[in-house]
Structure 1
Amino acid sequence: MSRTAPVVYTHADDIARLKALLPQLPDEARVEVTLKDGSRVLGTVAVRPTVQQYRDAEENEGSNGELRLDDLDVPVQQHHVWLDQIASIRELPPIE
């Protein structure tokens, strides 16, 4: 993953909000993620994301994180979502 993020955060409240998403995204969880723009992504969490240090386009350093989801319908297709773009997460039932 790139060490550059579109947006980085330095304020403790913003970083805490990013970290609060992590328990909802364990390895192999099937989830529906709604983004701030209203779009939705359905997939399986490839690996639990972490909040890490990145730089933005102006070389400011701060925190963000990237979620990698394997598409539910086409598992070889991957979605990469920045944690700060997530509005909500809904756990999906397991496949029976």
Structure 2
Amino acid sequence: MARIAPRVHTDAASIDRLKELQQALDAQLVATLQLRDGSIVSGTIPERPALQQFFGPDGDEGMNGLLLLDVDGEGRRMLWLDDVVDFSRIGSA
């Protein structure tokens, strides 16, 4: 896996937000996610997102996370955790 992310976070507030999202997005959660670009996507999160150290486009090192989402009729999507602006729980798989 490439260790390069489109954005990395180093400040405490941003890292805390990533950690809160990681804890809230449980494995087997069915959710609707509002993304940074304004799009909305729904699906099942098969496993809790993983926070990792990545390098940003400028070579800076920081944190971000990867979120797998199974979308009906579309397959599996991989999203950057910091792209999730908000989410709502629909249920569990």
TM-score by length of 1: 0.87
Percentage identity across paired residues of the two chains: 38
Superposed, which structure 2 residues align to 1:7-26 within 5 Å? 7-26=7-26
1:89 aligned partner: 87
3-state secondary structure, aligned to 1:92: strand
Please give the per-residue CA displacement for 1:53-93, whole angstroms capped at 9, x wherever unaligned.
0001221110000101011x226x11111111111011113
TM-score by length of 2: 0.90
Q: Is the 8 A contact 2:29 2:89 kept in 1?
A: yes
1:66 aligned partner: 66
Greater per-residue strand proportion: 2
Q: Amino acid of the residue matched to residue 82 of structure 1?
A: W
CA root-mean-square deviation: 1.5
Gaps of 5+ in 2: none
2-structure distance, mates of 1:79, 1:65: 14
State the shift of 1:94 in Å: 4.5
Q: Is the 8 A contact 1:24 1:89 kept in 2?
A: no
State the shift of 1:50 in Å: 2.1
Q: Amino acid of the residue matched to residue 33 of structure 2?
A: V
Q: Is the 8 A contact 2:4 2:54 kept in 1?
A: yes
Gaps of 5+ in 1: none
3-state secondary structure, aligned to 2:6: coil
